[in-house]
């Protein structure tokens, strides 16, 4: 069944394989009248680009995004915004060996069983390049949200055993190093850990945290399309994510109610909270505090070390995966988490417009 569309009102549909002709996205339902900065979209794309940072694939691809429709005289028109990247680097012939067996931790086996066969070149549709459409769509969502004063910011919280240990930091702090860790000391230790992993022909996992500021209250549609449920789906759908939590997250399991409840208090004439264990979502709706979500990423499954697996003939074999692979997915995934969060919030924000008659009258009683 069709599974490449996400969102109801603000909706993205992505397509493309790692080594096909290209990859892209159709963003449908974006409100008309947004001044879309095309260069900002490209800069956003560059943050997921291979070759951009030390610990990612050395393949150099410019990944130039082209906006094909939906923007006229610099503004969104309300019609679908189609964006695509042409693949420059799709040599064939490298993948004959991979085609014959199932790489541990990859989708080779499940793809074959579900569809009967697979485009094995570079991982096909399950490659990290699949996120190109997500990030391009996210770039549009973020420009939309920014117009309303909503900011989405993700960063690398942890790589292997090394976690960021600072509380306050700026967007610049995040972008100050290749690992997108806003804590120079942690970044240095993480780099050493990654060097060790490379020496051992191994790879590392990690964690990304994403924060949304400027949230209106009430976004999220109970009881199934709650804001946190939407975020959970959006972020879990990113390849390699194995866990998602919001606010105090898994820590709530061992907390007491008196400790976890966020008490309300008036502040500057507005309702606010003394703590934010809810991570900005109470009862499935935004409560006005910052959204705080975290995603756990598994280690890159492609490792050079020897592994057991089976081939298509049903024989047990030992393999060594060749080629140069990222020892860690996380830094390049930061922008993907940001994108999926932004798309979810944009969609929820538009959905919430229909929640009550006051909103309806604001639009129709002119």
Site for a copy of itself in 308-337 (CB under 8 A): 308-310, 314-316
CB of 339 to a copy of itself, least distance (A): 13
Residue 298, number of CB atoms within 10 A of its CB: 17
| Shortest distance in whole angstroms from residue 248 CB to a copy of itself | 6
- Binding test (CB under 8 A) with a copy of itself, winner from 56, 57, 126, 341: 126
Closest approach, Cβ 52 to a copy of itself, in A, equals 22
Which position among 37, 50, 52, 216 is part of the footprint of a copy of itself (CB under 8 A)?
216
Out of 188, 233, 276, 290, the only residue in the binding site for a copy of itself (CB under 8 A) is 233
Q: Kindly state the smallest distance separating residue 357's Cβ from a copy of itself, in Å.
A: 4
Per CB under 8 A, 289 contacts a copy of itself: no
213 binds a copy of itself, rule: CB under 8 A: no
Nearest by Cα to 156 from 257, 296, 268, 56: 296
Q: Which of 42, 56, 143, 300 binds a copy of itself (CB under 8 A)?
A: 300
Residue 180 in contact with a copy of itself, rule: CB under 8 A: no
Tell me: does residue 125 bind a copy of itself (CB under 8 A): yes
Mark residues 40-69: x for contact with a copy of itself by CB under 8 A, - for none: --------------------------xxxx
The one among 116, 172, 199, 268 contacting a copy of itself by CB under 8 A: 116
CA distance readout (Å), 328 to 123, 153, 180, 206, 280: 17, 20, 12, 8, 29
Residue closest to 152 by CA, chosen among 354, 334, 351:
334
Q: Distance between CA 39 and CA 343 in Å, rounded?
A: 19
Which residue has 């860690």 as its token pair?
Answer: 328
Closest CB 363 distance from a copy of itself, rounded Å: 5
Identified binder of a copy of itself from the candidate list 36, 45, 65, 81, rule CB under 8 A = 81
Q: Which stretch binds a copy of itself (CB under 8 A): 38-46, 172-180, 183-191, 300-308?
A: 300-308
Positions of E strands within 274-339 = 281-282, 285-286, 291-297, 307-310, 316-319
Rule CB under 8 A: is residue 194 a binding residue for a copy of itself? no
Structure tokens of 234?
A: 């959006």
Q: By CB under 8 A, tell whether 115 contacts a copy of itself.
A: yes
Instruction: Give the separation between CA 205 and CA 150, rounded to whole angstroms.
Output: 30
Query: 327, 55, 59: which is closest to 201 by C-alpha?
Result: 327
Is residue 301 involved in binding a copy of itself (CB under 8 A)?
yes
Give 72 or 170: the residue with its C-beta nearer to a copy of itself.
72
Query: Quick check: 138 binds a copy of itself (CB under 8 A)?
Result: no
Binding map of a copy of itself across residues 142-171, x = CB under 8 A, - = no contact: -----xx---------x-xx----------
Residue 183 CB neighbour total at 10 angstroms: 24
| 118 exposure class (CB count in 10 Å sphere: 0-12, 13-18, 19+) | buried
**Does the footprint of a copy of itself cover residue 96 (CB under 8 A)?**
no
Tokens 């969609």 belong to 347
Give the CA angle between residues 258, 263, 264 to the nearest 5°.
165
CA distance readout (Å), 32 to 66, 109, 232, 266, 288: 19, 43, 28, 37, 26
């Amino acid at each position: 069944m069709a599974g490449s569309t996400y969102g109801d009102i603000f909706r993205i549909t992505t397509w493309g394989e790692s080594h096909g002709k290209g990859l892209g996205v159709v963003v449908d339902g974006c409100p008309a009248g947004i001044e879309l900065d095309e260069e900002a979209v490209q800069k956003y794309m560059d943050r997921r680009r291979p070759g951009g940072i030390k610990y990612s694939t050395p393949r150099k691809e410019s990944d130039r995004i082209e906006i094909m429709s939906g923007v006229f005289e610099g503004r969104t028109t309300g019609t679908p915004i189609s964006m695509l990247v042409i693949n420059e680097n799709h040599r064939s012939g490298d993948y004959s060996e991979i085609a014959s067996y199932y790489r541990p931790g990859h989708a080779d086996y499940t793809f074959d069983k579900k569809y009967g066969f697979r485009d094995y070149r570079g991982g096909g549709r399950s490659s990290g390049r699949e996120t190109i459409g997500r990030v391009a769509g996210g770039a549009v969502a973020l420009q939309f949200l920014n117009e309303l004063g909503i900011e989405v910011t993700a960063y690398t919280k942890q790589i292997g055993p090394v976690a960021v240990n600072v509380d306050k930091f700026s967007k610049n702090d995040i972008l100050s190093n290749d690992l997108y860790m806003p804590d120079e000391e942690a970044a240095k230790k993480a780099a050493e850990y990654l060097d060790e992993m490379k020496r051992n022909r191994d790879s590392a996992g990690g964690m990304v945290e994403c924060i949304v500021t400027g949230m209106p209250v009430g976004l999220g549609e109970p009881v199934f399309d709650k804001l946190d449920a939407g975020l959970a789906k959006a972020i879990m759908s990113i390849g390699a994510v194995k866990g998602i939590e919001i606010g105090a997250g898994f820590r709530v399991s061992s907390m007491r109610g008196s400790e976890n409840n966020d008490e309300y208090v008036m502040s500057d004439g507005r309702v606010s909270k003394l703590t934010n264990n809810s991570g900005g979502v109470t009862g499935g709706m935004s409560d006005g505090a910052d959204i705080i979500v975290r995603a756990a990423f598994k280690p890159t499954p492609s490792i050079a070390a020897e592994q057991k697996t089976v081939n298509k003939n049903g024989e047990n074999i030992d393999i060594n995966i060749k080629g140069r692979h990222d020892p860690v997915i996380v830094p390049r995934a930061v922008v993907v988490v940001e994108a999926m969060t932004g798309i979810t919030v944009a969609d929820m924000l538009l959905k919430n417009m229909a929640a009550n008659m006051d909103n309806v009258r604001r639009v129709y009683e002119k």
